[in-house]
Every structure is written in structure tokens, then in C-alpha cells.
Amino acid sequence: MTLVTDIREGIAANLAAVKGLQVSAYMLSRPTPPSAHVIPAEVSYDETMRRGMDDYILTVQVFVAYVADVAAQQRLDGFLASSGATSVKAAIESDRTLGGKVDDLRVTGASGYQVFTLDTAQYLGVEFRIEVLATG
């Protein structure tokens, strides 16, 4: 496996702690809400001298049903919380080294509500941005 694969699978494993959230380490073409998938976004190589550290940015998209009802929005509110049983941030950061595969990670932010179109279906959701530091 590559380090990117390890990172994706480690983040997905951490997210599995969020009860009722279906999680995939890989992009889904048609998720079944509530669900989340992990997407590598960018890599900055050689952040320190001689392959010392790489900086990986990943995105986790979390989806609920695309309806304007209060229950879907409340579910997203719980995922956006900074702590608690449904907090995506807390779950992702529960093992900041992903079992020793990376040096550190942190959730640096989350988008507001968005409408995502995957395949032909639409979902209400949020994107979380994760920064991962790993020794080269």
C-alpha cells in the first residue's frame, strides 16, 4: 500500500466511530446517506529538507438526504460539532497518528452546507478539510 492509501483508510477507520454514519475510504458515485467518503486533495512534498516531511490535504465529504427538512439539517449540525458522539472532527482526530503511519493530523475547517451532485442524485452535505503531516 502507499501512504496515501494508509491515510485514507486510517481516516475512514477513525470516522467509523460516528454511529450511524456509513464511511468509505474511497469516493462513492452514489452514497447512501448519511455517509462520508475520503478524497485526497493536494500534497506538498519536501516541506523540510531532504525528504523530511510531506504535507497532505484531504477532504471528507459528509452527506445527508437532500431535503430541506429540519431533521437533515440537525444531523449535519451534529456532524459539524467540534466535540461529541456525532462530531466528525472529534472522530477524525481520535487517533492523530493513524496507528503510527503519520506524524500528526488535524481537521482545519469545514465548509457550510452545500448541495453535492453525484451521478444524478443530489445530497445536502459538508466538506471537512484535514491536514496530515508525514515523514518523507
Q: Which domains does the chain have, with CATH numbers?
A: 3-134 (3.30.2000.30)
Q: Which residues contact 27 (CB under 8 A, 6 or more apart)?
A: 37, 38, 39
Q: Which residues of the chain have pLDDT under 50?
A: none
What is residue 52's predicted lDDT score, i.e. its pLDDT? 79
User: Residue 80's pLDDT is what?
Assistant: 97
- pTM attached to this predicted model: 0.93
Q: Which residues contact 77 (CB under 8 A, 6 or more apart)?
A: none
Those residues whose C-beta lies under 8 Å from the C-beta of residue 120, and which sit 6 or more positions away, are: none
Write down the pLDDT at residue 68: 67
What is the per-residue pLDDT for 66? Answer: 78
